[in-house]
Every structure is written in structure tokens, then in C-alpha cells.
A and B are shown apart, each in its own frame.
Chain A
Amino acid sequence: MLEPLPGAAPVWRARCDPGQWLAACLAIATAGGRLGSLWASDERDTGKERAGALGGYSVHALMVTYDGLLWLDLPVSAQVAGYPDLSGIFPCARRMQRAAFDLVGLRALAPDGTPPDSRGWLRHGAWSAAIHPLRRDLALTEQLAPGDPRYAFVAVEGEGVHEIAVGPVHAGIIEPGHFRFSIVGERVLRLEQRLGYKHKGIEKRFESMSLLEGARLAGRVSGDSTVAYAWAYAMALEGMAGVRPGSRALRLRALLLERERIANHLGDLGFIGNDGGLAFGLAQFSRLKEDLLRSNAALFGHRYMMDRIVPGGVAVDLETAGRDRLLAEADSLEAELRTLRAIYYDHAGLQDRCINCGRLSPKTAAALGVVGLAARASGHAMDARVHPGFAPYDEFVPKLASHRNGDVAARIVVRFEEILESLQLERSLLQALPKGELQVTLAEPPPGACGVGWVEGWRGEVLVALQAGPAGRVRRCHPHDPSWQNWPALEHAVLGNIVPDFPLINKSFNLSYAGADL
């Protein structure tokens, strides 16, 4: 039984049994669909367990199909605490399943009854493997005794193979994570990532908040994508509450989202140039980014526009003077961008470093379920703004930028194209801002109501699955960053490249640690 969920994102929800769970995933994979997100929840308090029904826990999967999202909900009994492994169908499920085990204690099991990977992902040594912090009988502030911190990296053996261990603290202004390279000479034979260092209990923290307060936390899952997260959270909550923000509010949201995209792409183009040996690029692009951030501060009161999208609408408005300032900014930025693009594209040193470096082939990208900018640079034209085309993008349809080569150069080209397209969208939005309300009031959603947000941030699709508890509280919230899918792709993209190219390749993906560590 498919139950449509109200809201701006096309979502259907279905409860299934283990057989249907596997069959549905297989059918979706065969039809070209992919896994959007996977998480688990503790439902023992709902009383189904006492009634003897199947249940106690649930594992949830959001599948992305051509028709929209399918939210599969598989009840799992407390005695079994296991469910069919999806990583054979969707390799990107593996880390999500490990995280779900760490937090809730449900194990993904292969047909032979063993887990595909039993190592902790979010659990390092801070608590023991027998403890699962997202279970409802554990308090948010529970003092957990340390557990075993050891972690078995996959060892690569053979003549001349050695390891380079990097992190969690990196040699720059970078988020923490560990990279284990197995090397022959200078070439990367294997890269294994270990993340989870920034895990700070975000999902548990959501459950201590009201649905309205949760918006602020959602905007701090990954600071560089604060607008995308705030919108996705608001979209989920508005769906549950049965309201739709007005046209002016939606267009202002799109304006903020495009400005977030432009700012991040500008920063990345600078850092990629710098890592490719062109420090001039960093100086120029960081200047342009700063100009944009200052306009944000002047017009929207915050450089990164945090907390400017709120459930029900927006907390900003734009007067005529502000509109004219942004239109002028778009023109001057476009001129600067064209100058710098000509320099980047003509630069022999950058060409040498970036072309064919860190290739992610279209085939590998599809197999790994890669999303967002990285997918578009590897030949896959996917973008939640175009499909499903949530409002107001149904009226302001962006031209997709895509490239087939999947290398660092392709990710540079896609960024240039996307900034130009975002500037075009900005202009269209600014010239068509209707009068109207900025915020609508939200009614309190009934306990148990569910909503989903689906927004294309600058890095890729941001998903938020939200469930209401009693009295307007959050019962469960799972924010999903595109980095979950794209981190494993980086492990593939570096294969056969030389170690000194890793920073460049890594930067060309620029994935979020915070967003996936939660």
C-alpha cells in the first residue's frame, strides 16, 4: 500500500516485510532508481511490541525513482534486530547501514546471515559496541563509558606496498577525517576513508527540540549548505502541517539557495586553482566570494544566510534598492567570471594538473549512486531542481550543466557553468518577485505525522525525513547529506593517481564531513 505524503516533494510511503524490502529495492535498481538515504528508528515505545506484532524497531529507506521518492518502512522485531542488507544492490548503503547499527542497533544481514561489514562507523571509542545512543531509553546527555577504539583497516600486501595514514587532524583549514592510502611508489593502490570524527549526536539532539526549534539545528548540520538544509527541513515540516509558503517566500528561498551555490562554487574554484598551483586563482575567487558574502550580510543580515529560511516562509525581505544592488552585482560578477574562466581554461599548468586527473567514470558514478555536482560532472544529468522540480523551480527551470569526462577539469567546468546559470536564475527571480506574504502560520502537526524535504544544494541533494511527536516535538529527524553517496566515489576517483594529486582531487569533490558524521 503506497500512501502519498503531503508536501512539496513527491513522496509515497509504504510499510513492507523483509521480502518486499529486497524485492522493491531490486526492482527500483533495475529501473534505474537509486538509494537516497537509509536510517533506523526505535519504535518500542509505540506498544506494537507488547501487542506481539512485528516491530519494535524500524529501518527506513528513501528510494529515488523517476516518479519521486519512495519511503520504505521495514518493521524489525527487537528479538531479531536484523534486516536484509541492501549494499549488494546499492553499494552506497554500506556506510548508512553501519551508522544505523551504531545508533539504533539494527544489523544489515547478507543472505548468509552475516553483516557485510561489522566495524563501527560513527562509533569510535566513545561508547561501547553494545550501546546504541538513538534508542529511546538512553538520555541525550547520558555519560557513556568508553569502548574499544581499535579499527581494522583493510591491509594491502605485496612487494613495495606501504601505507600513508593522514588525519584526523589535517595540515590545513579542513574538517577532520582519516585517510589510509596504500601506495606503490607514488601511485595510490587503495584509499580507505574513516569518517565519523565529528559525530556530535545531532539526531538525538533533534529529539530534544520542538519542530520549530529544529529548523535552527537543521541549518547547522553542514554550515556550507545551511540554506539547503533549512529549506529541506522547512519543506518537510510544511508538508506535515499542510501549508505551502506564498510565491514571494518561495522565490526568495530560491534566491538564497542560488546565492549559496554561487558562493561555494566561487570558493571551490579558488581552492582548486590553488591546489593546482595557481595561487592567483585563490586570491581572485576568494575576493569575489567575499563580495557576495558582504552583499548577503548587507541585504539578508547574515553572510551565509543562516536561519533566513524558516518553517512557513522566510525571515528576510528584499526592497527595490536591494534588488537593484543584486542585479548590478550579477552583471559585474558575470564579467569577472568570464575573465577568470578564460584564464583557467587557457592555463597550461592547470590543464596539466586537472585533465584526466581523479576520473570518476559515468559507469562507476552510476554504480555508486553518486549525486549532485559530482554526478553531473560524470555524465549524469540529475538535479532535484529540474526533477522533481520543487516550487518555485517548476517556473524557473535551470539549464543543467553536465560533462562526461568525470575528472577534476570536468568538475571545474560544471562549477563555472552552474555559477553562470545561477546568476541567470537570480536575475529571473529578482525580476519576478510578486508581492505577498513572507511567512504563513504553521498548525501543529498531529503526533506521528511524517514529512520529507528534498532540495538540491550546491553539493547535491539534501534530504530531510521528519516525524512529529506529541505537543509539536520532534520524534525523529534524519537529515541526509549528499556526501554519504559521494565519499566512497572519492575512494575510486583517486585510484591510480599519484599521492600529490589527492588534495586537488579531494578539493574538486569538496565533500562535507560534518554533514555525514551527524
Chain B
Amino acid sequence: MQKILFQIARTGIISEPASAADESLRRIPGRLNDEVLRLLGRALAIRHVDAGSCNGCELEIHATNNPYYNLEGLGIKFVASPRHADMLLVTGPVSRNMEEALRRTYEAMPEPKLVVAIGDCGCDGGIFGENYASCGRVANVIPVDVAVPGCPPEPNAIIQGILTAVSVARG
């Protein structure tokens, strides 16, 4: 126990400030009114669905919870059921074998059903594109509010995408 406490003290708090929202990532503008967004604030529950990624995006989503990015420190946490989730974080081109599971997860969510697509594949199908086994981008299957490009997008970009979805649009 002593060793653990000593190590914690030696590490200290290393969390960095989060990046600001970026309106250019938004695909569906003005879907939620400012009042709803203010109520939601940053107390956000996210359900992650990997709809067919190479698993690179999952590595970076995991990294958002490391002590440097400390996503949970912003009040944003990943939950185990879509019924508890305000937001769906979807990676990958949507494989046809995952199409129904993704739709059902989306349907199981309560409103406002925010969706953030992560990575080049989620944005436009990426290198896999559309083929006999792949539906391509996430927006081909469910409505997408915010799409974050990158292969994979870095943790800051993912956090930026999440914050954009719950920020009040300016201008």
C-alpha cells in the first residue's frame, strides 16, 4: 500500500486542459436548442459502438481516459448500456454484419440520440469504403451529428468532437 501511495504522490496530477469545440466538425447544425444543451452541460453519458473498425480508433478512445486527457474529469463517462447514453460514439465503416446491431443500439437510446462518428472510416468509409460487406460511413446507417476525421484521430480531436456535439453553436 505504501508503495502505491508513494507512486501516486510521485506521479502527481498530470491532466491537461481539454481542447475547445470545433464547429467545422458539425454535420447537422441546430438540431438541439441552446436550452437543452445548457441543461445537458457536460454531464454526458457515452455508449461506444465499434461497427467495424481496424481497432485503431478504439486505442485512441481508450486514451481519452488516460490521466493526461482525463475525459471523465470533464464529467463525461462511458456507460455500459445504450439506454443510459446521451451519445453514441461510433467507429469504423459499418460492416453489414454490424448494421443491425448499430441500428438497434441507436433505437435503444433515449432522446436526444447524439451521434459522433470517429475516424476517417466513420466519416467517409475510409480505405475500406463501400463494398459487398461494408456500408461505408456511419451516416449511411444512422444520423450523424458530428464527424471527427483522422486515422486514427488523436485523443484531443476525439474530445473536441464530443464537446462540439454538446456545445452551443456560436455565430
Chain A partners chain B: yes
- Which of A's residues lie within 8 Å of B, judged by CB? 124-127, 133, 138, 140-144, 168-169, 171-176, 196-202, 204-205, 216-217, 220-224, 226, 267, 280, 283-284, 286-287, 289-290, 293, 297, 303-304, 306, 339-340, 342-343, 346, 512-514, 517
Q: Are A224 and B56 in contact (CB under 8 A)?
A: yes
For A201, list chain B residues within 8 Å (CB).
Answer: 128, 131-134
- Pick from B28-36, B88-96, B161-169 the stretch touching chain A: B88-96
Q: Could you give, for residues 116-139 of chain B, a 1 whenever the CB lies within 8 Å of some chain A CB and a 0 otherwise?
A: 000000000011111111100000
Report how many residues on chain B are interfacial, defined by Cβ distance under 8 Å: 52
Q: Are A140 and B127 in contact (CB under 8 A)?
A: no
Q: Are A197 and B4 in contact (CB under 8 A)?
A: no
Q: Are B98 and A286 in contact (CB under 8 A)?
A: no
Q: Are B95 and A200 in contact (CB under 8 A)?
A: yes
Task: Determine which of A175, A202, A216 lies in contact with B50 in the assembled complex, contact meaning CB atoms within 8 Å.
Answer: A175
Q: Are A141 and B66 in contact (CB under 8 A)?
A: no
B67-126 interface (Cβ within 8 A of A): 67-68, 78, 80-82, 92-93, 95-101, 105, 126
Q: Are A198 and B132 in contact (CB under 8 A)?
A: no
- Pick from B6-14, B17-25, B37-45 the stretch touching chain A: B6-14
Task: Determine which of B54, B67, B78 lies in contact with A223 in the assembled complex, contact meaning CB atoms within 8 Å.
Answer: B54
For A297, list chain B residues within 8 Å (CB).
Answer: 154
For A289, list chain B residues within 8 Å (CB).
Answer: 63, 66
For A224, list chain B residues within 8 Å (CB).
Answer: 55-56, 59
Q: Write the nearest CB–CB distance from A182 to chain B, whole angstroms.
A: 22
Q: Is B160 an interface residue (CB 8 A)?
A: no
**Besides A197-B95, A220-B54, 16 other A-B contacts (C-beta < 8 A):** A125-B100, A126-B132, A140-B131, A144-B132, A168-B101, A169-B101, A173-B58, A173-B62, A175-B53, A200-B92, A204-B133, A284-B11, A290-B63, A304-B152, A343-B7, A514-B52
For B82, list chain A residues within 8 Å (CB).
Answer: 169
Q: Is B141 an interface residue (CB 8 A)?
A: no
Q: Are A176 and B132 in contact (CB under 8 A)?
A: no
For B101, list chain A residues within 8 Å (CB).
Answer: 168-169, 176, 197
Q: Are A514 and B132 in contact (CB under 8 A)?
A: no
CA A293 to CA B64, docked complex, whole Å: 13
Q: Write the nearest CB–CB distance from B155 to chain A, whole angstroms.
A: 8
Closest A residue to B3 using CB positions: A343
For B49, list chain A residues within 8 Å (CB).
Answer: 169, 176
Q: Are A173 and B67 in contact (CB under 8 A)?
A: no
With A141-B130, A290-B68, A346-B3 given, is the CB distance from A198 to B63 under 8 Å? no
Q: For A143, A173, A222, A303, which residue has the most chain B Cβ atoms within 10 angstroms?
A: A173
Q: Is B57 an interface residue (CB 8 A)?
A: yes
- Which of B's residues lie within 8 Å of A, judged by CB? 3-4, 7-8, 11, 14, 48-63, 65-68, 78, 80-82, 92-93, 95-101, 105, 126-134, 151-152, 154
Q: Are A127 and B132 in contact (CB under 8 A)?
A: yes
Q: Are B131 and A306 in contact (CB under 8 A)?
A: no
Q: Are A306 and B151 in contact (CB under 8 A)?
A: yes
Q: Are A514 and B65 in contact (CB under 8 A)?
A: no
Q: Write the nearest CB–CB distance from A48 to chain B, whole angstroms.
A: 26
Q: Are B53 and A202 in contact (CB under 8 A)?
A: no
CA A108 to CA B55, docked complex, whole Å: 31
Closest A residue to B104 using CB positions: A169
Q: Write the nearest CB–CB distance from B125 to chain A, whole angstroms.
A: 10
Q: Are B98 and A176 in contact (CB under 8 A)?
A: yes
Closest B residue to A123 using CB positions: B97
CA A142 to CA B133, docked complex, whole Å: 9
Q: Are B97 and A126 in contact (CB under 8 A)?
A: yes
CA A9 to CA B3, docked complex, whole Å: 46
With A141-B131, A216-B127 given, is the CB distance from A172 to B55 under 8 Å? no
CB-defined A-B contacts under 8 Å, sample of 9: A141-B131, A198-B97, A199-B133, A201-B134, A222-B54, A283-B67, A287-B66, A304-B56, A306-B56
Task: Determine which of B57, B59, B78, B154 lies in contact with A172 in the assembled complex, contact meaning CB atoms within 8 Å.
Answer: B78
CA A169 to CA B129, docked complex, whole Å: 22
CA A493 to CA B82, docked complex, whole Å: 30
For B154, list chain A residues within 8 Å (CB).
Answer: 297, 303
With A169-B105, A223-B59, A284-B7 given, is the CB distance from A200 to B134 under 8 Å? yes
Q: Write the nearest CB–CB distance from B164 to chain A, whole angstroms.
A: 20
For A221, list chain B residues within 8 Å (CB).
Answer: 54
Q: Are B53 and A514 in contact (CB under 8 A)?
A: yes
With A226-B56, A304-B56 given, is the CB distance from A343 to B4 under 8 Å? yes
Task: Determine which of A127, A198, A223 lies in contact with B95 in the assembled complex, contact meaning CB atoms within 8 Å.
Answer: A198
Q: Write the nearest CB–CB distance from B119 to chain A, whole angstroms.
A: 10
For A174, list chain B residues within 8 Å (CB).
Answer: 50, 58
Q: Write the nearest CB–CB distance from B152 to chain A, whole angstroms.
A: 7
Task: Determine which of A141, A175, A304, A346 lies in contact with B132 in the assembled complex, contact meaning CB atoms within 8 Å.
Answer: A141
Q: Are B132 and A204 in contact (CB under 8 A)?
A: yes
For B99, list chain A residues within 8 Å (CB).
Answer: 126
